[in-house]
Amino acid sequence: MTGSEVPADIHHPETYAHGVPYARFRELREHSPVHWTEEPAVGPWPAGPGYWAVLRHADVKHVLRTPEVFSSHLGATQIPDPDTPGDLDFVRSMMLNQDPPAHARLRRIVAAAFTPRAVRELEAVIEARAQALVDGVAARGATDFVELAADLPVWTLAHIMGVPDQDRRLFYDWSNRVIGYQDPDHAGSATAAPGALTPVGRAALALRPATLARPDGSMISPRSREALADMFAYAHALSGEPRPGSVMAHMRDAGLTRDEFETMFFLFAVAGNETLRNGIPGGLLTLLDHPAQFELFRTRPELTATAVEEVLRHWPPVMDFRRTATRDTELAGVRVRRGEKVVVFHASANRDERVFADPDRFDITRTPNDHVSFGFGPHVCLGAHLARVQLRAVLRAAADRLPGLERAGEPVRLTSNFQNGLKHLPVRWRTSP
């Protein structure tokens, strides 16, 4: 290894329960932009070998657009290594964890669901749904905005995938368990009531593991087939008679292997859901914490598009992604050896002074806005356009239909070094007398 050691503060999940460490990112960008960080044990999760943290915008983009050097496939894209060679083989079948050209084959299968034209056809129903969600709480004068916002991405995914309304809560629990496994409030999420589910949903729920702890006290990866037996059983059952034109119909007819089918369902059910569940409340909190900008957003709806881009820059839903070096190489003057982990920090790149003037300032008129919250290169987020539609719909509905909207208490952050999330965001507004 070369370079001095970085404190583990940018790695430890507990750090992010108190806020993204932007000051530390700024220090590292200035003095050591590609920096070795330790990967200590966290609770029951074992220590890892460590990784190179990539903090500057240009270097993040370079890593993401160079899959022949920085692979998504070798070690997958999460910081922790999969538990076993079998687990690694399984997650490697996921589109997210493929390199070109294999990645392109899987991406084409589902791309039709996310074209601008396809999303435009959904825009009206998404906007109507967002307005209905806001109108449904308007008379109360207060709500937990995290709970309100959680409905729209799950509803949208269910619509695209042909999932019955009764089973939508399963998606909420799957996302909590997979993404929030570092947070004790989410790791064992089980909010879906069996009596409210379809027979297919109840059958799947019966296969949910009671615990992820092995008899020896070690933990099973929450992203493994073993840990998600209920999700994959549901996916196979749903694929038996998919709604015509749904993503499930495309997946069934595409000739996917069993592993590819299951991990594709995982990608939709979890990644397509969790990003918006975090981005929407985070976006509103950012607006509320900048009252002048919120007033500008409220009174000038023509700024909605640029406001959403600034929200995404300021509150990236996903803070980092991993790659693995395929060969010895050099990055920003640092020697990176074959097989070492390389982790790009979107949250740091989005505040890089070399790209963004006054980067800590939240400005909904900022343009251009070259944030990397949806990634870059061959793995740029397939659902980015759909995510923007949902962000616009909910934030616009809240600003337009809840007068005097403001915080009603302290937000509670998710304990995670991956997702920039909130568990609670109490808000209030004026109601008609």
Q: How far is CA 360 from CA 27, 31, 196, in A?
A: 14, 19, 45
Q: How far is CA 381 from CA 26, 85, 268, 309, 375, in A?
A: 26, 27, 12, 14, 6
Of the candidates 74, 320, 48, 93, the one whose C-alpha atom is nearest the C-alpha of residue 225 is 93
**pLDDT value at residue 224:** 83
**pLDDT value at residue 433:** 65
Task: Tell whether the model's pLDDT for residue 5 goes beyond 80.
Answer: no
Distance (Å, rounded) from C-alpha 208 to C-alpha 183? 19
Paired tokens of 50: 């460590």
pLDDT, tens digit (0-9, with 9 covering 90-100), for 113-145: 777 787 788 899 999 999 999 999 999 999 999
Query: Mean of the pLDDT values across residues 209-229?
Result: 80
- DSSP letter at 419 equals B
Global pTM reads: 0.92
pLDDT, tens digit (0-9, with 9 covering 90-100), for 67-89: 999 999 999 999 999 988 999 99
Task: Tell whether the model's pLDDT for residue 401 goes beyond 90.
Answer: yes
More confident residue, 327 or 242: 327
Please report where in the chains the tokens 């509320």 appear, as a residue: 288
pLDDT, tens digit (0-9, with 9 covering 90-100), for 261-310: 999 998 888 877 878 888 999 999 999 999 999 999 999 999 999 999 99
Mean pLDDT of the chain, nearest integer? 91
pLDDT, tens digit (0-9, with 9 covering 90-100), for 340-381: 999 999 999 999 999 999 999 999 999 999 999 999 999 999
Report the first-to-last Cα separation within the chain, whole angstroms: 67
User: Where does the pLDDT of residue 162 fall: very low under 50, low under 70, confident under 90, or very high at 90 and above?
Assistant: confident
Beta bridge partners of 143: 427
